[in-house]
Chains A and B, each alone.
Chain A
Amino acid sequence: MLINAVIFAPLLTAVLLLFVPRTASAALKGIALAGALITFVLSLTFLGSSQNGAADQSVAWISGTWLASYHVRIDSLRLFFVLLTTLVSVACIWAAFSYADEARLRGYLFLLLAFETTLLGLFTAADLLLFYVYWDLMLIPVFLLLVGYAHSAAARRAAWYYLIYNGAGGLVLLLGVIALVAHTHSFEVLASGAPQLSGAMEWWIFLSFALAFLIKTPAFPFHSWMPPTYTHAPTPVVAMVAGVQSKAGLFALLAFGLPLFPHATRALAPILLVLAVCSIIYGALAALGQRDMKTLVAFSSLSHLGLVWLALFAFDITSVSASILMLVSHGLIAAALFLLMGFVEERVGTRDLAVFGGLALRAPRLQALMLIAAMGALGLPGLSGFAGEFLILIGSWQTQPLYTAIALLAVVLATVYVLQLFQGILHRPLRADAQAQLELRPREIWLVAPLLAAIFFLGLWPGWLNDRTPMAISNAGTTALQATPR
């Protein structure tokens, strides 16, 4: 019951907004933020209850030749993704308050809240059909937000990249799902362990799953939709996409991919490892060459998530269990960075690092917050980024020393491009025609603060998260870790 409350609270809030007049922007903002906050508080209650056990609810949904059920659960694997979603959503919906067009505010908030529900649904779905429903459904709010609420031709073009790439991924996944369920005759594929598939069949089905996950994350070479989307989407949207949606593919790999296809994951690992390392290096090098600050962070995101692919397919227990920490940490850092860059763009009117700079003089608070987020992205010890990266590199070194060595190179490059970003925004002389009001407003500080606090918290006490997940990893990963390639 409580699970459904968490999943559908944002949607209910969104529906509630429809009954508020379009012009009553104060009421709209208040209701939307209250809804997001309530969702966050509700999701926190699962922290106490699900040390090992899981909150689980299953209702028969479709019977007949193929069974499906409305099966949602929050266990130790899913909990942190749910918390990440609800926390980032609060910040994003709060950030949406500065959306300029009053007449369209209601639709904007509606779509953001609907997007949150699809993300929560995805992270809690334990039934493959339900999972697929949310997997595809989340395209719609983002597509509509890009087309209707970004007010730029580039964003409207980016909407096509987003829809067609992710739609293609979704449909490939659909083929795989149907082929799998043609064997199991039930969408409840997790209920009875890994399905007994023939080698080739398992290989093909996993390939379709992997392709969908690679596109959604994204990973090299399926990332073409990402730079335009991350660059041109409205700030709250890109913070949610980069912070939360980009975790969907890797989450799905942990929740469905590894348990369902233990042998095929092993067999395909060499290819996926190469793609992971390519993502890491390519993302870092591409980030180095960017003048557009959002594109820079987009490519750094490609690089960081490539590290998680490496972690999962290194098949080492340390690296696999650190992957959740890394994902949550990246979600917090990416969301914080994109929100802060959004505030900067609002003030200076451009994303081009070569054109402006020197905000540190006038906006010390902005500098402080930016410093935390940037250092998190860079992997400074004491912040969450370090803990995840360090554990992953230690773990994957055991099984894949060569790839890990190459990945280490990217960690060095990260220092370069993150500093480029930081200096480009904050250092150098201030432009003469700069706006007077450059400092962050209190609202902007308060909405980023929880994310930054979480970055500190996880950096100082990574065990808080990591100790809660071994159960999840043993569920998801052991089958794959012990399996042999076939």
Chain B
Amino acid sequence: MTIAPVAISWTALAPMVVLACGGLVVMLVDLLSRSASRAVLYGIGVVSCIAAFAAMLPLYGRSIVTLNGAFAADRFSWTFDALLLFTLALTFLLSSLRKADDGGSPGSYAALLIFCTIGGMVMAGANNLIAVFLGIEQLSLALYVLAGTGFPRESSQEAALKYVLLGSLASGFLIFGSALLYGADGSMALAALAKAAASLSPLFVAGFALFLVGLGFKLALAPFHTWAPDIYEGSPLAVTAFMAVGVKVATFAVLARVVYAAFGHDSPALVALWAIAILSMLVGNFGAIRQRNLKRLMAFSSIAQAGYIVVALNGVNREGLSAMLFYLAAYAFTTMGAFGVMALLGDGSESYADLDAYRGLFFKRPWPAALMALFFFSLAGIPATAGFYGKILLLQLAFNGTAWGVAMAVTLVLGTLISFYVYGKVVWNMFAAVEGEAPAASGNAIAPWIAVAAGALGTIVFGVLPQTFYASQPFLAAAAK
């Protein structure tokens, strides 16, 4: 008997392979050199991000399906991969501070971040249910550990434990949902979902519902969001940033691919998704009102933002995909930037996660405070920032004539109004004067400044010239189907 080897397109897999090699190099360097500093290890991390991006360049605009249809490297995954690599590189920059909270073992920290991102890239390109599950598990397992790397702090241990327990539960939902979806059409391929979705067989509906629960947990969509505040608060700052951005980017790739593969158009089954979106926008924004810890505030904010992004799927059309990518990019810039300022000011410690630390900051450190204000304005959707145009795109998609669309649009606007207070509160504190305090001197490391500057640049350029990006090839992604 001979076994026909699976046809592998190494070009399609190259970015992930390159990144994985980077991870191995990090581990080897950590092994062989007695005193590899944090800067060296994270530097290798950033370099592997760049190398992986270079490996992505030949894939630009192409569409390769490989590994027996399990994995697709197309324009859709290309942009998501680029966002993930961007997020990873920035996460390294945020982690590189003196007091960085990585449990004293930068080597394993860096390697885990890299392997985590590879999981995200698998998710972005996953073309069948098994690949989806593999990607999600790789991403999650690495993150469970990363959440606990601030282990001298009890809250970090708590975060890791909670994340493992709740995350495994969610994975259970996801795999059970996948099994039912497989049962509904007898195929693992996402493309095969369309037939079962058209008839809305009970097996499909049950499977899709469970699948949504699993994804909803990973995205922190209400009502599966309750874990987010504690875990965001407990995890080390840079890990929280990655959690807020990287996990959302990768999981939205899966959600979009599944929805686009299963439904060619609006479907009654998606009503559940719209209800979740509306609930998330309300829960996220109302929940954020009372928060005085910035990481918790960002957790609620990310719940609300995830709710906004779901609106992009309304109508299941091509514009929705570009809008989702645009909004995710805007969200990545602003959120990474905001966490960057927190890391920069606290010099890696958690001291600037507290809202009170920001009192009168603008008059002590004008530039970080001004940029922080920019990021929060963008999250609130103030014009001339990336977040504003993202919201315009989402509202445009919401107004497609359906009652659910209008309900989502109205909720989005209501949520935005509440968020004016939430984000305004941070800005208010930074500008509210405190008399007679000496300027704080700490926090001038170059690496987080690069991250903050990258975030600010993206926020402004995407906000003022949205067309340049919105209509560019990476954003006009070829739909998954």
Stretch of B124-132, B162-170, B419-427 on the interface side: B419-427
- Judged by a CB distance under 8 angstroms, whether A167 is at the interface is yes
- Judged by a CB distance under 8 angstroms, whether A129 is at the interface is yes
Taking CB atoms, residues of chain B closer than 8 Å to A62 are 466-467, 470
CB distance from A280 to the nearest CB of B (A): 29
Q: Is the interface of B mostly helix, strand, loop or mixed?
A: helix
| Assembled-state Cα–Cα distance A133/B413 (Å) | 16
- 1/0 contact trace for B311-348 toward A, CB 8 Å? 00000000100000000000000000000000000000
| Assembled-state Cα–Cα distance A143/B428 (Å) | 8
Taking CB atoms, residues of chain B closer than 8 Å to A182 are 396, 399
Q: Are B413's CB and A175's CB within 8 A? A: yes
* Interfacial residues of chain B within 358-402, with CB under 8 A of chain A in the complex: 362-363, 366, 373, 377, 382-384, 388, 392, 395-396, 399
Q: Are A66's CB and B396's CB within 8 A? A: yes
Q: Known: A132-B383, A136-B382. Is A147-B417 also a contact (CB below 8 A)? A: no
* Interfacial residues of chain B within 416-442, with CB under 8 A of chain A in the complex: 416-417, 420-421, 424, 427-428, 431-433
- Judged by a CB distance under 8 angstroms, whether A65 is at the interface is yes
Taking CB atoms, residues of chain A closer than 8 Å to B384 are 133, 137
Q: Are A164's CB and B421's CB within 8 A? A: yes
- Judged by a CB distance under 8 angstroms, whether B142 is at the interface is no
- Judged by a CB distance under 8 angstroms, whether B410 is at the interface is yes
Q: Are A136's CB and B420's CB within 8 A? A: no
CB distance from B321 to the nearest CB of A (A): 13
Q: Are B366's CB and A164's CB within 8 A? A: no
Q: Known: A64-B471, A148-B433, A178-B409. Is A167-B420 also a contact (CB below 8 A)? A: yes
Q: Which residue on chain A has the smallest CB distance to residue B319? A: A65
CB distance from B463 to the nearest CB of A (A): 9
* Interfacial residues of chain A within 106-152, with CB under 8 A of chain B in the complex: 107, 129, 132-134, 136-137, 139-140, 143-144, 147-148, 151
CB distance from A256 to the nearest CB of B (A): 17
* Interfacial residues of chain A within 144-192, with CB under 8 A of chain B in the complex: 144, 147-148, 151, 156, 159-160, 163-164, 167-168, 171-172, 174-175, 178-179, 181-182
- Judged by a CB distance under 8 angstroms, whether A437 is at the interface is no
| Assembled-state Cα–Cα distance A132/B381 (Å) | 12
Q: Are A134's CB and B428's CB within 8 A? A: no
Taking CB atoms, residues of chain A closer than 8 Å to B395 are 174-175, 178
Q: Which residue on chain A has the smallest CB distance to residue B424? A: A163
| Assembled-state Cα–Cα distance A61/B388 (Å) | 15
Q: Known: A168-B417, A175-B409. Is A148-B467 also a contact (CB below 8 A)? A: no
Q: Are A63's CB and B432's CB within 8 A? A: no
- Judged by a CB distance under 8 angstroms, whether A104 is at the interface is yes
| Assembled-state Cα–Cα distance A179/B409 (Å) | 10
Q: Are A167's CB and B396's CB within 8 A? A: no
Taking CB atoms, residues of chain A closer than 8 Å to B416 are 171
| Assembled-state Cα–Cα distance A333/B433 (Å) | 32
| Assembled-state Cα–Cα distance A171/B377 (Å) | 14
Q: Known: A65-B396, A163-B424, A182-B399. Is A137-B417 also a contact (CB below 8 A)? A: no
Q: Are A137's CB and B383's CB within 8 A? A: yes
| Assembled-state Cα–Cα distance A179/B388 (Å) | 17
Taking CB atoms, residues of chain A closer than 8 Å to B382 are 136-137, 139-140
Count residues on chain A whose CB falls below 8 Å from chain B CBs. Answer: 37
Q: Are B399's CB and A147's CB within 8 A? A: no
Q: Are A147's CB and B383's CB within 8 A? A: no
Taking CB atoms, residues of chain A closer than 8 Å to B433 are 148, 151
* Interfacial residues of chain B within 425-481, with CB under 8 A of chain A in the complex: 427-428, 431-433, 466-467, 470-471
Taking CB atoms, residues of chain A closer than 8 Å to B420 are 163-164, 167
| Assembled-state Cα–Cα distance A151/B433 (Å) | 7
Q: Known: A62-B467, A107-B366, A132-B383. Is A148-B417 also a contact (CB below 8 A)? A: no
Taking CB atoms, residues of chain A closer than 8 Å to B424 are 143, 160, 163
Taking CB atoms, residues of chain A closer than 8 Å to B319 are 64-65
Q: Known: A63-B467, A164-B420. Is A144-B383 also a contact (CB below 8 A)? A: no
Q: Which residue on chain A has the smallest CB distance to residue B322? A: A64
Q: Which residue on chain A has the smallest CB distance to residue B476? A: A64
- 1/0 contact trace for A429-456 toward B, CB 8 Å? 0000000000000000000000000000
Taking CB atoms, residues of chain B closer than 8 Å to A405 are none
Most buried by B among A129, A151, A175: A175
- 1/0 contact trace for A27-70 toward B, CB 8 Å? 00000000000000000000000000000000001111110000
| Assembled-state Cα–Cα distance A413/B319 (Å) | 57
Q: Which residue on chain A has the smallest CB distance to residue B465? A: A61
Q: Are B399's CB and A148's CB within 8 A? A: no
Taking CB atoms, residues of chain A closer than 8 Å to B366 are 107
CB distance from A328 to the nearest CB of B (A): 27
Q: Known: A63-B467, A133-B383. Is A164-B362 also a contact (CB below 8 A)? A: no
Taking CB atoms, residues of chain A closer than 8 Å to B383 are 132-134, 136-137
* Interfacial residues of chain A within 279-335, with CB under 8 A of chain B in the complex: none
- 1/0 contact trace for A178-218 toward B, CB 8 Å? 11011000000000000000000000000000000000000
Most buried by B among A143, A144, A174, A179: A174
Contact for B417 among A65, A156, A171, CB less than 8 A: A171
Q: Which residue on chain A has the smallest CB distance to residue B471? A: A64
| Assembled-state Cα–Cα distance A175/B427 (Å) | 25
- 1/0 contact trace for A80-115 toward B, CB 8 Å? 000000000000000000000001100100000000
Q: Known: A147-B432, A148-B433. Is A103-B392 also a contact (CB below 8 A)? A: no
Taking CB atoms, residues of chain B closer than 8 Å to A129 are 392
Q: Are A164's CB and B417's CB within 8 A? A: yes
Q: Are B467's CB and A179's CB within 8 A? A: no
CB distance from A207 to the nearest CB of B (A): 14
Taking CB atoms, residues of chain B closer than 8 Å to A104 are 363
Q: With contacts A64-B467, A175-B395, A178-B396 known, what are 9 further pairs, Cβ within 8 A?
A: A64-B319, A65-B396, A104-B363, A107-B366, A136-B382, A137-B384, A144-B373, A163-B421, A178-B409
What are 25 A-B pairs with beta-carbon distances under 8 A?
A62-B466, A64-B319, A64-B467, A64-B471, A65-B319, A103-B363, A132-B383, A133-B388, A134-B383, A136-B382, A136-B388, A137-B382, A147-B427, A147-B428, A147-B432, A148-B432, A159-B428, A163-B420, A164-B420, A175-B409, A175-B413, A178-B392, A178-B396, A181-B396, A182-B396
